[in-house]
Structures are given as C-alpha cells and as structure tokens.
C-alpha cells in the first residue's frame, strides 16, 4: 500500500517559512524560527552534533517525521542552499528527488542519501519518490514554491506546521498563491509544547 504525501515545516506567526533571500538562511530570523528543534536529542543525533539533547513530545515529533519518510522531494532553490550548508552526511538518509531544469547525474552522499535530479516536472518527481519510498511516506521537503505547486496540483494528503512564536514581517509565505478554491483542510490534531504549537491537517479537494 502506497504511503501518504506530506510536508512538515516551521512557520512564523505571520505566515513565513523562510527569508526572501537564500543568503539570509542561517540568519537571526531563521535561527529564531527553528530554535525549537536545535536542542532536541534526535536532531542532534541525526546531524552528528554529539550526544545529549532534550527529549519529550517535540523530540518525538521530529523522530516520527523522519521515520515515516521513505523519500523526499525538493525544489532546486532548497537544494542549492542545502548543498552549501548540509554536512557531508546529509540529514535525509533516503533518496531525494530534486525538481530542476538542470541535468545532473545522481549525487550520492554518505549515510544513505542520494540526490536524483528530475527534469520533467513535479508529477514525475513524485512518481519516482513514491516508487523509492515503497509503503512509507513521501515528504515534500520544500521550499515554499515547491510545496505550493504540489498543494495546488492536489498531490498533498497531509501537512504539519510547527507554529513558532516569532514574527518575520517579510519573506516567503507558505500559502502565497494557494488555489484556495480547490483546497479544503480538515484539522487532525493540535499539540502545544513550551516552544511551538504543532498543527496537523489533512488536505482534500473542494
């Protein structure tokens, strides 16, 4: 049985998931947005940042998101930024399908991550990711424009937002340009922690 297609992101209270420029990734605003995840045990272990770290529900959610993911899809903008920032052992440990116009051979990294570059659209990338994931889920990793393409195409089953108590004022909005006339949401759960509120929704057509 095929798994679900989902995305999971951190979002500011005013609706932004990243700064406008990729040059500002790892800047103060982005660090504040992601601050909830840095101390977590699973995050530290996955990025080989050393032992220790916090446990609890936030840690469980990050681990569960990782464990359900059999393959990921991302856009070229996210890949370009990540190629500069990810450690040699990229943190996915699964196949990753990059939607791009660039023709490039697969890029294999230590630890089980191989980036595949798909030149003929989001549906082909998803088909390849589904095949690679087997009965596990496919995560649309980002960035915002790629997530929106999949939402507007009716290809997302579920998503989760870690709503962080910060304000951006400007940047990349998660749902900027969403086809709201075609997309309806059903709440699944809301969970609070000391740092963020986790919101999960299923997606269906209107």
3-state secondary structure of 141: strand
For residue 19, the model assigns a pLDDT of: 85
Q: How far is CA 206 from CA 56, 64, 176, 178, 199, in A?
A: 37, 29, 19, 13, 21
* 8 A C-beta contact, residue 165 and residue 31: no
Other CB atoms within 10 Å distance of the CB of residue 127: 14
For residue 25, the model assigns a pLDDT of: 63
Q: How far is CA 16 from CA 19, 33, 74, in A?
A: 8, 9, 18
Other CB atoms within 10 Å distance of the CB of residue 102: 10
pLDDT by residue for the chain (206 residues), tens digit each? 579 999 999 999 999 998 887 666 666 777 899 999 999 999 988 887 777 889 999 999 999 999 999 999 999 999 988 888 888 888 899 999 999 999 999 999 999 999 999 999 999 999 999 999 999 999 999 899 999 999 999 999 999 999 999 999 999 999 999 999 999 999 999 999 999 999 999 999 87
DSSP character at residue 94: S
DSSP character at residue 22: G
Can you give the pTM of this predicted structure?
Answer: 0.93
* 8 A C-beta contact, residue 5 and residue 137: yes
Please name which of 184, 179, 175, 177 lies closest in space to residue 202, comparing C-alpha atoms: 184
The distance from CA 13 to its chain's CA centroid, rounded to whole angstroms, is 18
Please name which of 126, 85, 89, 135 lies closest in space to residue 109, comparing C-alpha atoms: 89
Hey, what are 113's tokens?
């991550």
What phi and psi values does residue 15 have, to the nearest 5 degrees? 95, 15
Residue with tokens 């095929």: 2
For residue 23, the model assigns a pLDDT of: 67
For residue 46, the model assigns a pLDDT of: 84
Which conformational region is residue 137 in: left (phi greater than 0), alpha (psi within -120 to 50 degrees), or beta?
A: beta
For residue 118, the model assigns a pLDDT of: 97
Helix extents (H) in 14-103:
28-33, 41-46, 57-68, 76-85
Which CATH architecture fits 5-205? 3-Layer(aba) Sandwich (3.40)
* 8 A C-beta contact, residue 204 and residue 50: no
């Amino acid at each position: 049985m095929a798994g679900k297609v989902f995305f999971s992101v951190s979002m500011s209270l005013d609706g932004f998931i990243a700064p406008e420029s990729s040059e500002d990734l790892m800047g103060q605003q982005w660090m504040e947005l992601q601050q909830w995840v840095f101390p977590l045990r699973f995050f530290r272990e996955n990025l080989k940042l050393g032992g220790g770290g916090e446990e609890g529900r936030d840690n469980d959610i990050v681990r569960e998101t990782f464990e359900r993911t059999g393959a990921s899809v991302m856009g070229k903008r996210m890949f370009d930024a990540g190629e500069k920032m990810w450690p040699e052992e990229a943190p996915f440990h699964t196949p990753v399908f990059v939607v791009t116009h660039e023709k490039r051979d697969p890029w294999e990294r230590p630890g089980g991550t191989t980036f595949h570059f798909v030149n003929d659209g989001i549906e082909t990338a998803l088909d390849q990711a589904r095949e690679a994931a087997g009965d596990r889920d496919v995560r649309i990793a980002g960035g915002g424009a790629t997530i929106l393409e999949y939402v507007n195409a009716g290809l997302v089953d579920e998503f989760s937002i870690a709503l962080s108590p910060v304000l951006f004022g400007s940047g990349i909005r998660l749902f900027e340009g969403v086809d709201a006339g075609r997309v309806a949401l059903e709440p699944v759960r809301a969970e609070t922690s000391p740092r963020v509120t986790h919101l999960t929704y299923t997606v269906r057509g209107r």
